[in-house]
Amino acid sequence: MAQQIADRRDVDFVLFEQLEIEQFQNYEKFKDFSKKVIDMVITEARNLSIKEILPTLKEGDREGLIFKDGKVTLPDSYKKAYKLFVEGEWVAMGADTELGGQGLPNVVIQAVFDYFLGANYQFTLYGMSGYGPGEMIEIFGNREQKDLYLKKLYCGEWGGTMVMTEPEAGSDVGAISTTAVRNTDGTYSISGNKIFITNAEHDLNDNIIHPVLARIEGAPKGTKGISLFIVPKIRVNADGSLGDPNDVVVTGLEDKMGMHASATCSVTFGGKGNCQGMLLGDENQGMKIMFHLMNAARLAIGAVGQTSGSAAYLHALNYAAERIQGRDLEKTFDSEAESVTIINHPDVRRMLIWMKAHVEGMRSLLYYGALCHDREQYGETEKEREYYKDLFEILTPVIKSYCTDRGFEVCSEAMQVFGGYGYTKDYPVEQLLRDVRIASIYEGTNGVQAMDLLARKLPMKKGAVLLNLVTEIQNVANKAKEQPALAGMAEKVEGAANRLIEAAMHLGKTAMSSAVKAAFLHAVPFQEVMGDICMAWMLLWRAEVSIKKLADGAKKKDTEFYQGQIKTASYFINSILPVTIGKIESILANDISALEISEAGFGV
């Protein structure tokens, strides 16, 4: 069962062999996090995931939610698992211990996510819902706000949300119409309607704290005039006790393709004119506060894609190793030949190695992104912190978009391995496929991520950040070239990285010209190209580590694992990367037919 969530051997490989995270003990903040301690943390997360969280996945999907009189009731299994989640102090893993957290490095949290999200990411979003609002308050709140809210959010006594989207303001956040009017007591009266709010109402917590984007009277138009407010479901008295309801009303639940146990709500704030909120930070600082946490949130959503794909791949792998169907291809015409397990069929192996390459490459990329985030926060020098901050910034849209897109595709491929059975509810891959599809949409659609990559991230420091990323890729390629068995693959990865710069320069020049729309027409393909090249980088890095381990005399039980890493890298670099080069050629060709075709030509 554990292997149907995440491969622990691979998790440990990335942490301790590829990224060598024991180096974190050099930081004062993490001096107590030895390999033994990290092993223990991940083992505890794994055990909780297998025993308590994983069973909620199917029950939540089958039972769904009960919505009555503005209240949402969750399946009973969620309540038991949530109690254990809170008792284990998993809500705010990265927060300081005195605030109820574990003080974990982000890269270790990413490994924990491999199990929590892989077991049931809907549950995990409930479990950690208080962390985002809590971190906002910890960084930007005043003393009163911290005293009232922080510990109860971090310990899981209270839940939280992120309240941005409105019916006419989705990706265009600057178009929000929710208003905030100053009151004489220093609070604000909040009025507006929000939609697609995750976990806005449920029965796991006594109170839910809503960070709400709204516009104060007289504020500038667009995103520059947006402020952020702390709006509790139940008002909080000065002594921290709960007071009266706060005119926050859930008006409906979305009936979704998947995520049937996730309360995705439409919410009315101030429908009776009696909704009060507290300004968080300064006026018109709302988007700054939200963006401060957005990168971490997008990394987590990327992990939703990867972990869903990981679970689906392992289900498909186990099925392929057990399902007997058809003769071996070389014995097709031998009527006496016995049927074999489908893992012996070449096309099934093609699907499995495609899934393996993406699942493992995405794991490495996610952990690497989290490692950059750690170094941004705890690096020894300002130069080091700035360097990794920039890398994290440029990788964020790629991680979010690529991992969610490929995670969905891995689930689809896993269903194909199961054949007709995969399309039924008898096996879990059909639910994994339905549930993960939303990940490409929320926390900024993947098209928006591509626009952000092209408009904001590639031009950072006049392109120097992209060059730094390519240098990181080249460093791995240079190490791999020292190994004769990897030299050819290393040259291909290095060549692809150089072509990435060529494509970026082409799009940059196009974006600065009158043909700006032509540049953004190719933003998503470019983002996919960058994701593919990051996969090749990570897989080559894995192969380079593995070939050294084999040369040093790896233990017998590890030999096949390391050999598998080398074969997986070879498959991706020789079979997938050439397609990526073709995508680069299509970007450089600059076809703009989609812009030139008329609406009538589309059939409107």
Positions annotated as catalytic residues are 443
Helices and strands, counts by H and E, the chain: 21, 14
Instruction: Say if residues 504 and 463 touch (Cβ distance below 8 Å).
Output: yes
What 3-state DSSP class applies to 129?
Answer: coil
Count Cβ atoms below 10 Å from residue 16 Cβ, excluding itself. 14
Instruction: Say if residues 520 and 578 touch (Cβ distance below 8 Å).
Output: no
In 107-178, which ranges are E strands?
A: 159-160
- Distance CA(348)–CA(413), nearest Å, equals 10
- Distance CA(402)–CA(535), nearest Å, equals 10
> What is the DSSP code string of 384-403?
HHHHHHHHHHHHHHHHHHHH
CA 53 to each of CA 40, 48, 82: distance values in angstroms, whole numbers, following the listed order: 18, 7, 9
Angle at 420 between CA 304 and CA 322, to 5 degrees: 80
Give the distance from CA 48 to its chain's centroid.
21
> What is the DSSP code string of 416-475?
HHHGGGGGSTTSTHHHHHHHHGGGGTSSS-HHHHHHHIIIIITTGGGGHHHHHHHHHHHH
Instruction: Say if residues 472 and 391 touch (Cβ distance below 8 Å).
Output: yes
Residue 66, beta-bridge partner list: 73
CA nearest neighbour of 298 among 208, 228, 396, 381:
396
Q: In angstroms, how far is the first alpha carbon of the chain from the final one?
A: 50
CA 588 to each of CA 217, 463, 466, 510, 579: distance values in angstroms, whole numbers, following the listed order: 47, 18, 18, 10, 14
In 125-247, which ranges are E strands?
A: 159-160, 179-182, 188-198, 208-216, 226-232, 234-236, 242-245
Residues contacting residue 404 through CB under 8 Å, at least 6 positions apart: 301, 302, 304, 305, 436, 439, 440, 446
**Token couple for 542:** 């894995």
**Token couple for 475:** 């460093």
